[in-house]
Chains A and B, each alone.
Chain A
């Protein structure tokens, strides 16, 4: 099937990449969009991982402190 029958605006992939001579502007904008979106997703995930690590560390310290307190009272 010819891609033009799908209603596609460009007749070939090369033409699509060229964006009628506006390729640098269009593609740099889309690339920057990708950077921003990826940064958002990765930083949110990384923040979650860090928070969970912090919590488990704090909880471990707490239980350790509790144990030593128990030992002292014995």
Chain B
């Protein structure tokens, strides 16, 4: 499993263009938002948290339909499913790799983009930690969607419809943490809720994705 993770990370690293895609996409979407509103710092500051989170949601969707694609096409997935071992760990590793190449870089550059949205620089640490906590949930939920649509020609088209409604709680708690801190309100509760959701999805998502993969591959 470790070997598989290293291989996938290495593959992602070799295709540097794809590796940077979500990151650039994130930057572009965040960068376009002020243009669609107004260069009003006060307004941007109020919308900043929402803009960051919406852009993060869209960016994680970007590479999602490719998550299992190559393993499905070269038959590796089928072989894995035939073997008596549980694929829970394998699926979890896949989600982790997805997060390492999308969510993690997004979280790392988010303080800079926050400054562009007129959020105070002192909030940088908070913004980064919220995204570090929230984006793994997006990758984990997204894995279930990717598992359900692997092998479908139009899978990439319906994947956002399947996954986006399930992202709502992350969007709400994630952006409210940033907004509440800006207003000087306590943020412990939404932080705890986000953490609880991460713990839950860490267990449930790979389980559901394993079941979904078995269904998608059985043909």
Q: Do chains A and B touch in the complex (CB under 8 A)?
A: no
* Interface residue ranges, A against B (CB under 8 Å): none
* Interface residue ranges, B against A (CB under 8 Å): none
